[in-house]
Structure 1
């Protein structure tokens, strides 16, 4: 495709001529859909995605011609999935309420569905998740007297880690019924119900004032129309000397404006209503809608590539269990494409992931540097 990366020699086997129509009419989404339909196969799907990423101009051209006629339909579909109060609930259900037993098949025992941090080559996925949680707690210098608010509970991993290891009180919220039920059971089983308040509320409905705020890869589900609303609420929830740690998947500033309008495979099939922010988009929103300022940013995109590879391996090792839960071959191929699509994007730095430390005006951050080991 015009790039000289010799390590990216890929093999694609076309099994059905419908593949060509899918590409012509659907562009990059057509490539994904034809894979889901088993119209083509490859020994290394991630490398195919990397090749796509390295030839972005070619991929962009795939969205022209006949594919341009279907683009308005895809954009209309995405617009209908806006993250209003009602829309957010529907979009969360579309992904996270597939069932806790499904996610257990590829997540590590912490049930953290976000990038880990691998300090050592032989770190397990569970260790990488724990490294990430410890880094967040260390960055915020959590203390037993701290009142912490978390936006986006997940399955309760951060709340339980912070409460157990740092003694602080954590109030955490989710709008997923499945995650709420699982997290509540885990909290009760761990004897942490006196340290953790679990809510089932939209972040826009939260009240109170807290010392620290944590949000791990939740902003991607907010939607770009609501970035200002999100950061305004975060600011309002923090005391005048409060601090916040957000972990966010990011896209380059140069591609953000086009990406927020376009509908790719992820928006269409995996995370309806989502939008990956850029660092500049976050900074602009912070300035416009809050009194928060950024004091530190750690970027560790290659750790997410490793995380996705670990998830994908676990998923493949449990294919029979996935099928036993009633999921189809098309569903399995869609998830394989999802894992590889994201891993390839991180490997070629089309997307990355960062931890951002944000503080309120009266916060006084010590003059110390905490290096991110790689």
Structure 2
């Protein structure tokens, strides 16, 4: 845990109020410092040949960590109070030992610093629109900085070594696997819930399917329609909440959208899919997952990721999804896991993001935003590299068809 003399960059308090102010939590800061020393040495994150933390402001770092736990850990990075040349590796070590970072005899203290979700982040219709806009409507050009030409913002499925040149084919491989699994072909009535920037809808339409996609992101809808027109295919993209969709569809596709639904609304989401699926149809879902006991422990916890990246969501477990769909006529018929491929996808995105970070200012994003998204991408990569997170493609249908 190397200490360096350089000071963090200034943070705009109007844009980043909680990042700009260091809490006064002196006692909690001292407790956090002792815990950090213990954990850092045990995991090899102090001075040594492996990935290490470099503290620019140890006192501020420990005060944030002591008062706000992992939210404080993230805000300290946003503020420039710590850094690492091997950020994903540091975070991978921490993620791999997440269950034992705090000694069991002290874990009861979590209730004093673990925040609960603000009610404003709930995924009712108004909240869902707001939550989606806070991430996906930041700027299409922002996402274009680090995504490949397919503009696909979900795990790729690589057929060999994961390199930038292989990313677009790997995204198509992922999409085609879902389309194949749900029988998408000429005349198939396809519904996509969560448009992204249109690549899945375009590939389904190229198979001759009749494609309707729904999204809550105005930015994504506009670009998806332009991309479909440029590809010479007919795709309908509606700015609509999934709860308001009507009709009957032979195939329903939804890629990494259920994580944003929120546990409170999982039964509603499952019931909507059941209502919309035609007899004999199939549903293809791609979802990030975590172990069930971790999901249960995290379900009420307000995290740094909620606060700054994805408000209102919860990553499900497979048992939780099986139970939710078990209350409908739907059943999970097939599962396919490929978590390590997501770690590779995120590694490539982050490298591209850092290579083009100089363009952020032109788009209206400051240095704190750059650090925020650098941490987000590294944090996510670490989750998959450590096995803390996984990603699955699920095929669902009715048990009697």
Structure 1 length-normalised TM: 0.91
CA contact (8 A) 1:26 1:67 kept: no
Partner of 1:188: 229
Partner of 1:329: 367
Question: What is the number of equivalent residue pairs in this alignment?
Answer: 355
Partner of 1:177: 218
CA contact (8 A) 2:336 2:393 kept: yes
Partner of 1:151: 193
Q: CA deviation at 1:131?
A: 0.9
Q: CA deviation at 1:362?
A: 4.3
Mapping 1:76-115, distance limit 5 Å? 76-77=117-118, 79-115=119-155
2:87 maps to 1:45: yes
Partner of 2:292: 253
Partner of 1:203: 242
CA contact (8 A) 2:284 2:394 kept: yes
Partner of 1:11: 52
What CA distance in whole angstroms lies between the structure 2 residues aligned with 1:8 and 1:56?
22
Partner deviation per Cα, 1:200-253 (whole Å, 9 max, x = no partner) = 110000000010110000000000001110011001001121100000000101
Q: Which runs of 5+ in 1 are unaligned?
A: 364-374
2:337 maps to 1:299: yes
Larger radius of gyration: 2
Assess, with a 3 A threshold, how the Cα gap between structure 1 residues 221 and 76 changes in structure 2: closer, same or farther: closer
Q: CA deviation at 1:117?
A: 0.3
Q: CA deviation at 1:255?
A: 1.0
Alpha-carbon RMSD across the aligned residues, in angstroms, is 2.0
CA contact (8 A) 1:249 1:352 kept: yes
Assess, with a 3 A threshold, how the Cα gap between structure 1 residues 32 and 61 changes in structure 2: closer, same or farther: farther
Structure 2 length-normalised TM: 0.85
Partner of 2:326: 287
Q: CA deviation at 1:189?
A: 2.2
Q: CA deviation at 1:3?
A: 5.1
Q: CA deviation at 1:59?
A: 3.6
2:282 maps to 1:243: yes
Q: Which runs of 5+ in 2 are unaligned?
A: 1-38
Q: CA deviation at 1:191?
A: 2.3
Partner of 2:358: 320
CA contact (8 A) 1:214 1:246 kept: yes
SS of 1:80 mapped into structure 2: helix
Q: CA deviation at 1:75?
A: 1.0
Decide which of 110, 113, 119 is 2:159's aligned counterpart: 119
Decide which of 108, 116, 140 is 1:75's aligned counterpart: 116
